[in-house]
Amino acid sequence: MAFKHTSVLLEETIEGLNIKPEGIYVDGTLGGGGHAWEIARRLEKGGRLIGIDQDEAAILAADERLSEFGDIVSIVRSNYRNTKEVLFSMGITEIDGMMLDLGVSSYQLDTQERGFSYRFDTPLDMRMDMRQSLTAREIVNHYEEMELFRVIRDYGEEKFAKNIAKHIVMERQKKPIETTGELNEIIKASIRRAAPSADAAYGNPQEAQAPSFRRAHRRP
């Protein structure tokens, strides 16, 4: 599948950066390069754009899309948390602007094998960086109950985190939790038992909690 993603708030972001033709800018969540292309085309000789992303598919798509800008653009496969180290390795001590488009791209949601979306009953993965060994399956099946509770509470901002963690542990004792569909049913059941009246208002609970398992990969 080709990497396709619609850039969010594109015009507003570019306007907010107030780009200088000879400035140095960082796109810390490069994705398919939509924002980056708009930044790069406004730069002149002496200007520079550093694009950072941990997703190999995004890197490949952005590299092709931004190739016309030559040395103005540098692309690095890393996490935006490492921006300081990336810039230091390039001898850059100051920048004129940085942007982050946090969240999951439409490409990642639509690629079933990545396991990001509740729309498909697929193996639990949810890795932004496929070089990592830790998957959502490992987290769900091997984290202690208290650690699961913290992940769901802190990263998912979930008021039923304790009950969800408890039911995940109960169900995995019967058999490993392998797919997004299985996790979805467990989360729905745990919320229904904790607060039956809240179930209808939740929409799809696994969709709401997917960010907690994704973010758990990125903990220091």
Rounded distance between C-alpha atoms, residue 18 and residue 113, angstroms: 39
On whether both 67 and 143 belong to a single domain, the answer is no
Rounded distance between C-alpha atoms, residue 208 and residue 189, angstroms: 14
Q: Please check whether residue 3 lies inside any domain of the structure.
A: no
Tell me, what CATH number does 26's domain have? 3.40.50.150
Q: Please check whether residue 185 lies inside any domain of the structure.
A: yes
pLDDT digits 0-9 by tens, 5-21: 566 688 999 999 999 99
In the chain, the largest separation of any two C-alpha atoms, in whole Å, equals 62
Q: Which of 37-46, 160-169, 172-181, 195-204 has the lowest mean pLDDT?
A: 195-204
Q: Please check whether residue 128 lies inside any domain of the structure.
A: yes
Which residues constitute the domain of residue 142?
Answer: 121-216
Q: What is the structure's pLDDT at 72?
A: 98
Q: What is the structure's pLDDT at 108?
A: 66
On whether both 172 and 203 belong to a single domain, the answer is yes
pLDDT digits 0-9 by tens, 73-108: 999 999 999 999 999 999 999 999 999 988 776 666
Tally of domains within the chain: 2
pLDDT (average), residues 183-207: 72
On whether both 19 and 86 belong to a single domain, the answer is yes
Residue 154 makes CB contacts below 8 A (sequence gap 6+) with: 212
Q: What is the structure's pLDDT at 220?
A: 44
Using an 8 Å Cβ cutoff, are 116 and 57 in contact? no
Of 51, 74, 106, which one is at a domain's C-terminal end? 106
Q: Please check whether residue 94 lies inside any domain of the structure.
A: yes
On whether both 96 and 20 belong to a single domain, the answer is yes
Q: Please check whether residue 1 lies inside any domain of the structure.
A: no
Band (pLDDT 50/70/90 cuts) for residue 174 is very high
pLDDT (average), residues 131-148: 94
Tell me, what CATH number does 208's domain have? 1.10.150.170
DSSP letter for 199, please. T
On whether both 203 and 134 belong to a single domain, the answer is yes
Rounded distance between C-alpha atoms, residue 35 and residue 39, angstroms: 6
3-state secondary structure 37-88: HHHHCCCCCCCEEEEEECCHHHHHHHHHHCHHHHHHEEEEECCHHHHHHHHH
On whether both 20 and 56 belong to a single domain, the answer is yes
